[in-house]
Structure 1
Amino acid sequence: MGSAVTSMKNRASGSGTVQESVQDLDEMWSIVDSWTPKALPSSSCSHLKGWKTVRVFVSSTFGDFHSEREVLIKQVFPELREWCEARNLCLVECDLRWGIPQDTPSSKILATCLGELDRCKQDTYENPLMVILLGERAGWIPDISEVPSEVVEQYHWIPGMSITGMEILHGAYRNSNPNAAFCFRDPSFLGQLPLQELTQYQETGQKALLMQSLKQHVCHRFTAKQILKYKCKVQGKDCTSGSEKVRLGFSCEFTSWILQFLKTRIIETFPGHTEAFSETEKPSWEQTEETQHQLFLQQRCQLFLGRDLEVQRILEFLQVEFKDSTQQINCVVTEAEGGVKLPCTPVLQIISEPGMGKSSLLAACLMRAVEIPNMSVFYHFTGCCPSSAQLSNLAMRVCCHVLPAGPEREDVMQRLRDCSRNEDLKEVMRQILKSSPVSPNKTLCLFIDAVNQLSNPRDVSDLLSWLTTDGFLPPSCRCVFSSTITNAHSPFSLQLELLSPQSSQELAVKFLSRYSKSLSTDQLSLLLQNTCSQNPLWLSLACEELRVFGVFETLTQKIAGFPNTLQGLLGNIIQRLVQEDLAARVKKLLCLMHCSPEGGIERDLCGALSELEGGPDIPPLHWVALRRTLGCLLRLGQDHRGRDTLSFFHGSVVKAIELSLLQTEASRQPYLSSMSSYYEHRCSDDMTVVSQLPRLLQEAKLGERLIHFLRKDPRALCIPAQMRAQYMKVLRCSQVCRDGFPRSPALLCSFCSLKTRAFGQLFLNKQSCVVCGATVMINEREAFLCPQHFRHGVSECLVCKTPILGPNKPSPGLLCNFCGFSQTCITIKL
């Protein structure tokens, strides 16, 4: 990784000198050995059930290890990835071998490189999986003045050490990491190189001594099992990358040794994934979903302050008896309008504007609720991962929590998957809750956060209606849900008020103290005078802005300039990030993510960004730096297959992007188009394509491509008929074709009627709905064309457009129940 820095910073020649303060190498290593590393907080995902992410960090100098890295990327890691996936492990190689822009500050380079190594450490319990390639070059040795003080303190930077050496110290040497593989290249091949190439592979003077001492200390500290000494030979030039490089050849020992070492260490690090899983052994769907909700829960509990009265009221609500009357409820929460006696529906709604801390309050309450005897707690945080915004996902998670594993649950889960209407979903959910095996003296508590963030507005209104309908929830159940929407039917509600001034001050002080920062009394007072400072999200964002602000002399001015609205502050943050982005990618990524506000797979977002730029894949180091830049706006997660995902950390970010970057519908068009093109032509995961592409094409108003995908692309065959019909309905001619209106029947010639796939499915055309392609063996309706879309006096085939002549009787075009309901012309308008 340090090699990437070397290349772009023009330090490949090794012209720097070792710092005079530590010229003596023995003194340098005594300093190295005197420091005890600090433990990083372990990644929560690593300890949760389901898929695990396995990151392998590649460290070496740059140009002289081009051939080895090519072998790793194109031979070793593809085979290792297959092996990992069979064991429910998702392999991510951290090979930051490309450079960064010429004018990128050294401080950002160092923080990015070592920060990515920290991420690898967190996922493997402090011992990152590393492949370290060492030759005869030391690489870039930054001057101590180039290293930020926080990097010096956090990583105990050694003056005179190369960045590649610091990666080795931080990731392997200091903690005697058993997961580090050291590959020492035999220098005998240097004699085969021309003199003009030799300087790219060999150091002289003090740097050569530094490399010699580094290898000696590695050999002294690590066992022979962790060290490979391999030979290579020059095999000419490699011009495939567009830049002429020396091609080196290796024996098969190089790849086989690294593969075997990594497999062995992965098994040691993740003992629960020793053998390939069969279908029956793989972690269940509910376990992989639970991982994301559990991680979100832990994050929301970290900075929860105040709200003691609200927590008390919610916990009292959970334990109130609803059998006879509404007594005691009035003293706990606010009863619906006018104190009218309402049916005893055990539902409490938490209402507030965005950013007031609803999620954190729910998280704090449910952590207390699980400690209450005879209480079974279920929680669902809408927006914590892409799948959580689907109503069907919520229903299936409730099913898995309530029903024990077995044939009955599998049957109910299949019924939920087959539900095509919300009414069907409601009935199945009602039956699940009614048949809950919870004993009479045990209470089932449902915590549902951010109902208003469900992806479909219809789902929001339906769920709110269900929860507040008498009889939907059994007497032994309680439900607490949060929303920005006031539900008139909710019998009990709790309106979140602003934080108290004391809680606001405590939150600001605690937030900044985590980074060893503090404000003066006047500055803190100025911050809290802002009318929005009692909004927890606004205050946290403001403190984060102050934390990264680097000019102490104008800090007070910065505080005074904060907008007094949440959207205004988010807009300022977004504009700052865009202005500071020399690569001009921050705006692009934010706008691409706006096209999928529920979040997306990181690999797909990176691919869509490449598609938008019309160039090759984004170099990994560029992507890591971009993701780090936007860290304050993003939530990193993983889907049920262990793939890294990105989403906005809060729903308010979507609105802020609209106001600051996408003020018109036309400005959104290129991003929708690029996302569509990526999924249509470059994405290799068919299920992801099916879930994303039709919606994007519809939003981009690319009707012709949408129809082609639905009717001609084999990947679209698995799209449910009703969903296909919904997409087609938007493009369908709106002219009425009922009885009594001018119309002409849609016909299929005898030849086309016996063919298949004209309307997207595998059924005979004459047995298919001419709009969505569903089979219409029963309850079919005849399809018609309006006067604008049929040729007067001539009947022509709907498929081949040829006139229908001769004795062979044509087949009528048919509509399924859903498509036939509107009784309009069946022409698709493109």
Structure 2
Amino acid sequence: MHDDNREFRIFISSTFRDMHDERDMLNQKVFPEIRKICWERGVNFSPVDLRWGINSEETERGEILRICLDEVENSQPFFIGILGQRYGWIPDQGQSGLNIDEQSNLYYGIVSEALLEERSVTEMEIRYGMLKVKNRKAIDAFFYFKEEDLSPIDEPVASQAKLAQLKDHIRSWAITTDNVTHLLDGYCSLELLGRRVRADLLKIIENRWPENQTPSAIERERSKHLGFAQSRRQDYIADESSIAWIDSHLDHLAYHSDRSLVIWGPSGIGKSALLAEWVDRTRKRRTDVLIFEHYLQANSHISTPELLGRLLDSMNVSKNEAESAQQLGNLENYMRERLQAYNKPVVLVLDFNGNNSYGCFTNLPENVLVITTKTYVTDGVTLEVPLLDDNRRKQLIDKFSKRYRKQLDAQQIALINAAPQTRNPLFLKTLLDEIRLFGRLEARTPQGVSNEITALLENYLNSDSLVDLFERVIAYRENSLGLGLVEQVLSLIRVSLMGLTEDELYGLLIQQGLGCTPRDIIEVLRLFDPQLSYSGVDGGAYHFIHDAMDAAVWNRYKLAAVTGRRLELHALLADYFYNVPDKLLSARLRESVPYYLVESKQWQNLDDYSAVHHAAYPPTCYTDGDYLIGNLRRITNISHSKFLSSVRDSITVIMAEWDQENNIKTLFELNKQLYFTNKLKPIDGRDELFESLAVIIKEKGLDSYARYIQGVLPETSTVFYFVTTIERLLSCAPEECHNRPLSM
């Protein structure tokens, strides 16, 4: 059965005091994977854990039962019930918070009966949520009974008898409704419980939101972006003035000479969420407009032909026509012609965040509005995304509380509101996610009962930046999983070029001699689920979503130095991937392997690999920077801060050697420094570096030498890369540099 409702909200019912470990395991190990699978299918997964979802004020007002039953109602038909050896808290009428004299009360029947029979809140949840529904076959309810032991239970005998009756009632329900597989009667370990819950939730997903077994590459890509957009919208509190500003430009498109908008702001400010919300509204408001959206976080490594293929497909251009244009080398012009012939407004939402890899969206017809994103202010028509004001911050907290039923008390909310950092949506959402994953309302310590949520808040709110916050997040997980494992996994992901898969991480750690299991890798990835993006490229590679998380890992594990730790990791990556069979079949590895070889200074292996690649993928066009490795698209994810200063220092040393001896060895050393200069993002320092390199090239006569060795050694890949890089850099030279005489 296919379900058009894309909300998967499931209630977790159990007693509290004896089920902390079970709930922690589900939240930290099972639910992150389920959330990722749902995201890939455009489904919002929201497990409702009321362990700390009721604050002290609500308890004092007697609202516990209403809140519990409200959430069961909101989560139907999805329900998980976990029962151990405790029956749980039995409220009296005064604690119920419900006026059972009011016959119109939604919960009158279930509560009045439960109070008379002195049932526990857990039993009320189960009976109201699942066992009282008429259409039992439509219920996606699953129950898990913990294996009984002989430990003494601190409950009255009457409560234990009611627990036995409740379990028998559920067993009977499972048999009479033909739902025997919905009951695990006697799990003996957390691992067994986790495996079974995972399998049951996957059955729900497959039944209600089945994966198309034969989707095209374009359909898969479109679903990925729709899923990403929906995930951005679910926690977004709209800034109506920004929405209206974009609306105005679209509605008056014919009157604007500049049909390109730039949405800008720092990392975490909500640029992607703003665009996702605007697209969703505009598709409903302006049915005459074609909107094409691409989010870099959903796929940061798509090639220009693939991206244009998606756009043309959205205009109902046949695949054969698009492929014919590509074979003729005319794909970009063909795209412009089809846009002009479309005769309707077209909006290209390109959430590239300043990535300039795709230079094809220029000189577009007048019916096209282009909206891009950047992290820095730029020329043209721009909109700066504002920080959260008091009202939007409150709405975001309320939305989180409602979604997960995690109520903060007045003191905790006051702590959040007093911190200016929480005006950044990413900071605030990270804070709330940490509480959801790790907070318990009351935790036993040697000093007594402490409020762990408040302690978490105070620690995280001492962060003076997003980077500092993520470093504290990392430290918390190190305490949970161990420093060595967390450091290795995060460091490898950070220094990788296009992310790493679970299997690759496991293989790398085994090659390094770190004793671990695949499950250990998965546990780390799941605990960092809010900070990771799953690209789905070549088996599914993980990389960090935000620059701030990148920087936190970079700082915490001291990866800035070119030598030492970073060199070791790049050498590990180079050795591992250089020996992978059929690596040329993977687009991700075709781009990553040469980078790892360069960074680990394996120059002979780089030359050998490049020659093999050149033979397998002969270059056909050297425009748009593709010449560095045949027709590979440019690698633009490398931050300039990783090697900008080291490039300058190294070139100074090499130029001193060049003055002494003009030979291929010196060229080889220079080539390794120039190899990735064209990958630098257009931010602080890049243009200055390019200009200074161009001056050096002219002053030292490297351009003349490049032409000379190209004639002598035309087939050497090192020479090929060197010559084309020299040409690239010379294009950035200052005007006066072009008029200087050549030296030999």
Question: Does the alignment reach a TM-score above 0.5?
Answer: yes
Per-residue displacement from partner, 1:98-149 (whole Å, max 9, x unpaired)? xxxxxx9676556667648967996999xxxxxxxxxxxxxxxxxxxxxx99
Contact 1:305 1:503 in 2 (8 A): yes
Contact 2:614 2:630 in 1 (8 A): no
**What residue in structure 2 maps to residue 594 of structure 1?**
494
Distance 1:516 1:377, change over 3 A: same
**What residue in structure 1 maps to residue 510 of structure 2?**
610
**What residue in structure 2 maps to residue 294 of structure 1?**
226
**What residue in structure 2 maps to residue 578 of structure 1?**
478
**Are 2:522 and 1:624 equivalent residues in the alignment?**
yes
**What residue in structure 2 maps to residue 479 of structure 1?**
370
State the structure with more CA Rg.
1
**What residue in structure 1 maps to residue 577 of structure 2?**
679
Contact 2:610 2:717 in 1 (8 A): no
Q: Identify which of 553, 556, 560 aligns with 1:657.
A: 553
Distance 1:155 1:623, change over 3 A: farther
Distance 1:658 1:813, change over 3 A: closer
**What residue in structure 2 maps to residue 23 of structure 1?**
none
User: 2 CA distance for matches of 1:557 and 1:382?
Assistant: 36
User: 1 CA distance for matches of 2:613 and 2:304?
Assistant: 27
Q: What SS does the aligned partner of 1:528 have?
A: helix
User: 1 CA distance for matches of 2:726 and 2:38?
Assistant: 59
Distance 1:497 1:735, change over 3 A: closer
Q: Identify which of 285, 309, 315 aligns with 2:247.
A: 315
**Are 2:349 and 1:447 equivalent residues in the alignment?**
yes
User: 1 CA distance for matches of 2:710 and 2:260?
Assistant: 49
Amino acid in the other structure paired with 2:525? R
Residues matched between the structures, number: 511
Distance 1:269 1:537, change over 3 A: closer
Amino acid in the other structure paired with 1:678? Y
Contact 2:617 2:630 in 1 (8 A): no
User: 1 CA distance for matches of 2:180 and 2:393?
Assistant: 57
**Are 2:236 and 1:304 equivalent residues in the alignment?**
yes
Q: How does 1:679-758 map to 2 (within 5 A)?
A: 679-682=577-580, 686-688=584-586, 689-711=589-611, 717-718=616-617, 720=619, 722-724=627-629
Unaligned stretches of 5+ residues in structure 2: 9-19, 42-50, 54-67, 73-78, 87-125, 141-169, 183-201, 444-449, 621-626, 633-646, 665-705, 728-744
Distance 1:782 1:306, change over 3 A: closer
Amino acid in the other structure paired with 2:494? H
User: 2 CA distance for matches of 1:502 and 1:223?
Assistant: 46
User: 2 CA distance for matches of 1:692 and 1:439?
Assistant: 38
Contact 1:690 1:715 in 2 (8 A): no
Q: What SS does the aligned partner of 1:783 have?
A: helix
Per-residue displacement from partner, 1:345-379 (whole Å, max 9, x unpaired)? 21111111111111000001111222203211001
**Are 2:542 and 1:646 equivalent residues in the alignment?**
yes
Contact 1:783 1:812 in 2 (8 A): no
**What residue in structure 2 maps to residue 374 of structure 1?**
288
Contact 2:263 2:385 in 1 (8 A): yes
Between Structure 1 and Structure 2, the one with more helix by share is: 2
Distance 1:705 1:817, change over 3 A: closer
Q: Identify which of 56, 81, 96 aligns with 1:156.
A: 81
User: 2 CA distance for matches of 1:120 and 1:357?
Assistant: 20
User: 2 CA distance for matches of 1:478 and 1:124?
Assistant: 28
Distance 1:40 1:538, change over 3 A: farther
User: 2 CA distance for matches of 1:122 and 1:435?
Assistant: 35
Unaligned stretches of 5+ residues in structure 1: 1-38, 45-103, 126-147, 162-168, 180-213, 227-261, 274-281, 327-343, 417-426, 745-779, 787-797, 799-810, 825-830
User: 2 CA distance for matches of 1:306 and 1:638?
Assistant: 29
Distance 1:269 1:575, change over 3 A: closer
Q: What SS does the aligned partner of 1:156 have?
A: strand
Q: What SS does the aligned partner of 2:383 have?
A: strand
Amino acid in the other structure paired with 1:494? L
Distance 1:217 1:704, change over 3 A: farther
User: 1 CA distance for matches of 2:29 and 2:716?
Assistant: 62
User: 2 CA distance for matches of 1:118 and 1:734?
Assistant: 52
Tell me how far 1:659 sits from its aligned partner. 2.1
Tell me how far 1:660 sits from its aligned partner. 2.1
Q: What SS does the aligned partner of 1:379 have?
A: strand
Contact 2:52 2:407 in 1 (8 A): no
Tell me how far 1:156 sits from its aligned partner. 1.2
**What residue in structure 2 maps to residue 435 of structure 1?**
338
User: 2 CA distance for matches of 1:533 and 1:648?
Assistant: 21
**What residue in structure 2 maps to residue 88 of structure 1?**
none
Distance 1:345 1:557, change over 3 A: same
Per-residue displacement from partner, 1:407-453 (whole Å, max 9, x unpaired)? 3211234456xxxxxxxxxx85354124326443x10111111332x
Q: How does 1:73-84 map to 2 (within 5 A)?
A: none
Q: What's the Cα RMSD here?
A: 5.2
Q: How does 1:241-640 map to 2 (within 5 A)?
A: 273=213, 283-323=215-255, 326=256, 344-371=257-284, 372-388=286-302, 393-402=306-315, 404-414=317-327, 428-436=331-339, 438-440=341-343, 442-452=344-354, 454=355, 459=356, 463=359, 472-488=363-379, 490=380, 492-547=381-436, 548-550=438-440, 551=443, 552-553=450-451, 555-561=453-459, 562=461, 563-582=463-482, 584-596=484-496, 598-613=498-513, 619-639=517-537
User: 1 CA distance for matches of 2:281 and 2:328?
Assistant: 34
Per-residue displacement from partner, 1:164-216 (whole Å, max 9, x unpaired)? xxxxx9xxx9998999xxxxxxxxxxxxxxxxxxxxxxxxxxxxxxxxxx999
Q: How does 1:63-142 map to 2 (within 5 A)?
A: 108-109=24-25, 115=31
Q: What SS does the aligned partner of 1:493 have?
A: strand
**What residue in structure 2 maps to residue 761 of structure 1?**
none
Tell me how far 1:513 sits from its aligned partner. 3.5
Amino acid in the other structure paired with 1:510? K
Tell me how far 1:724 sits from its aligned partner. 3.5
Q: What SS does the aligned partner of 2:492 have?
A: helix
Distance 1:634 1:683, change over 3 A: farther
**What residue in structure 1 maps to residue 709 of structure 2?**
783
User: 1 CA distance for matches of 2:654 and 2:630?
Assistant: 14
Identity of aligned residues (%): 17
Distance 1:528 1:685, change over 3 A: same
User: 2 CA distance for matches of 1:483 and 1:706?
Assistant: 34
Distance 1:674 1:353, change over 3 A: same
Contact 1:589 1:605 in 2 (8 A): yes
User: 1 CA distance for matches of 2:609 and 2:39?
Assistant: 39
Tell me how far 1:312 sits from its aligned partner. 0.9
Amino acid in the other structure paired with 2:82? W
User: 1 CA distance for matches of 2:174 and 2:533?
Assistant: 38
Q: How does 1:227-246 map to 2 (within 5 A)?
A: none
Contact 2:305 2:326 in 1 (8 A): no
Contact 1:350 1:493 in 2 (8 A): yes
User: 2 CA distance for matches of 1:110 and 1:812?
Assistant: 58
Per-residue displacement from partner, 1:495-534 (whole Å, max 9, x unpaired)? 1222211111211232133222222223212211212221
Q: What SS does the aligned partner of 1:155 have?
A: strand
User: 2 CA distance for matches of 1:654 and 1:448?
Assistant: 22
Q: What SS does the aligned partner of 2:534 have?
A: strand
Q: TM-score, normalised by structure 2?
A: 0.57
